[in-house]
Amino acid sequence: MVQKSISIKQYNTFGINVYADLFAKFSSIDELHELLEFNQRSTFNDQRKTLILGGGSNILFTKNFEGLVLKNEIKGIKVIKEDEHHIYVQAGAGENWHQFVLYCIKNNWAGVENLSLIPGNIGASPMQNIGAYGVEIKDVFYSLEAYHIRDKKIVNFTLNDCEFGYRDSVFKKKFNNEFVITDVTFRLNRIPNFNISYGAIGQELEKMGAKDLSLQAVSQAVINIRSSKLPDPAVIGNAGSFFKNAEIQNSKFKSLKETFPGIVGYDLPNGNVKIAAGWLIEQCGWKGYRKGNAGCHVKQALVLVNYGHAKGSEIYDLSEEIIQSVKEKFGVGLEREVNII
């Protein structure tokens, strides 16, 4: 059913109250196809724009959406193939990511435990190659199916086709808004290859008194760390890290380190350094800052928050001020991670 002029406040974790001209949910490719056909025929608006929405946890609406918002609710999880070392599990784009992680852990399928408690749905996970605590979905990704909006056909993407990078893929850049991801297949491990090198996990496992490493213990450690510093969108509107960590040349990092000895950076295989944008933002005095209903989270400066009735434009303007001040103080340009609409 297509609804007209509907608030999408409940469909985005920032809790921004904007209106979509048209809104509908779909739970199969046939329904998606029909809705896209309808939108093409519709004379409700001239642009006939379409926006595919999952859990709305990586999106900032700065204005009403003059087009059709389609919420992906394609469900289903099934094992499609098994071999000596791996289980290939296909999940519908509308499945909740964290529920999928818990389902894998329950079945002793390893590989996604470090990605516990990331909000959103399966369908958006390849969009920005979600990552946390030393793991990205590219590490367990096998393939996906996506519906090409213009050509009206299903296309299969392998790992190489997706061109995954840090918070990046072909769907975010060159194929932006061209495809609707309908399902994703993950290659999970029978034998866990625990990744607890990310400092805080080891400490948290010790604090928990976990005697043996297990998928459950690692997942719980990640959940504990995340809950201690990231705001729960059910309590305070946000979309996780608003900015990406910045990649700079090693020479630039060294000279910054002379002036700012506390700067946090990690060496990358290409010789560059990834610097913690949260540290840069905190040093510029933004952590805990609040202007009206928009703010910078008190425990994590990378996360912008909506204290109540913020407009998307207020959050966006704050992000612009932050980018400028980081540029002035450190000469580093920050990129937004969140999709701005």
Question: Which positions lie near ligand EPU, rule CB under 6 A?
Answer: 132-133, 240-241, 244-245, 264, 276, 278-279, 282, 287, 300-302, 337
Based on CB atoms, which residue is closest to ligand EPU, 314 or 337? 337
Based on CB atoms, which residue is closest to ligand FAD, 58 or 319? 58
Distance of CA 23 to the CA centre of its chain: 22
Q: How far is the CB of 2 from ligand EPU (least distance, A)?
A: 31
- Please indicate whether residue 84 is annotated as part of the active site: no
The 10 Å Cβ neighbour count of residue 17 is 17
| 180 contact choice in ligand FAD, ligand EPU, none (CB below 5 to 8 Å, kind-dependent) | ligand FAD
Name residue, tokens 């996990």.
201
| CA separation for the pair 217, 227 (Å, rounded) | 15
Name residue, tokens 């000279």.
255
| 119 contact choice in ligand FAD, ligand EPU, none (CB below 5 to 8 Å, kind-dependent) | ligand FAD
143 binds ligand FAD (CB under 6 A): no
Q: How far is the CB of 118 from ligand EPU (least distance, A)?
A: 7
CB 131 within 8 A of CB 137: yes
Which one of 188-196, 237-245, 311-319, 327-335 is the stretch in contact with ligand FAD (CB under 6 A)? 237-245
55 binds ligand FAD (CB under 6 A): yes
57 binds ligand FAD (CB under 6 A): yes
Distance of CA 30 to the CA centre of its chain: 27
87-116 residues near ligand FAD, rule: CB under 6 A: 93
Q: Which residues pair with 290 in a beta bridge?
A: 295
Q: How far is the CB of 339 from ligand EPU (least distance, A)?
A: 12
- Please indicate whether residue 7 is annotated as part of the active site: no
Largest CA distance in the chain: 63
Catalytic hit among 143, 241, 314, 319: 241
**The residue type at 134:** G
The three-class DSSP label of residue 227 is helix
72 binds ligand FAD (CB under 6 A): yes
CB 74 within 8 A of CB 27: yes
Selection from 117, 109, 54, 55 nearest residue 80 by Cα: 109
Q: Which residues pair with 26 in a beta bridge?
A: 72
| CA separation for the pair 101, 331 (Å, rounded) | 39
- Please indicate whether residue 150 is annotated as part of the active site: no
- Enclosing H/E stretch for 148: strand 141-148
| 238 contact choice in ligand EPU, ligand FAD, none (CB below 5 to 8 Å, kind-dependent) | ligand FAD
Catalytic residues: 167, 241, 337
Q: Which residues bind ligand FAD (CB under 6 A)?
A: 13, 51-59, 72, 93, 118-121, 123-125, 127-128, 130-132, 171, 179-181, 230, 233, 238-240, 339
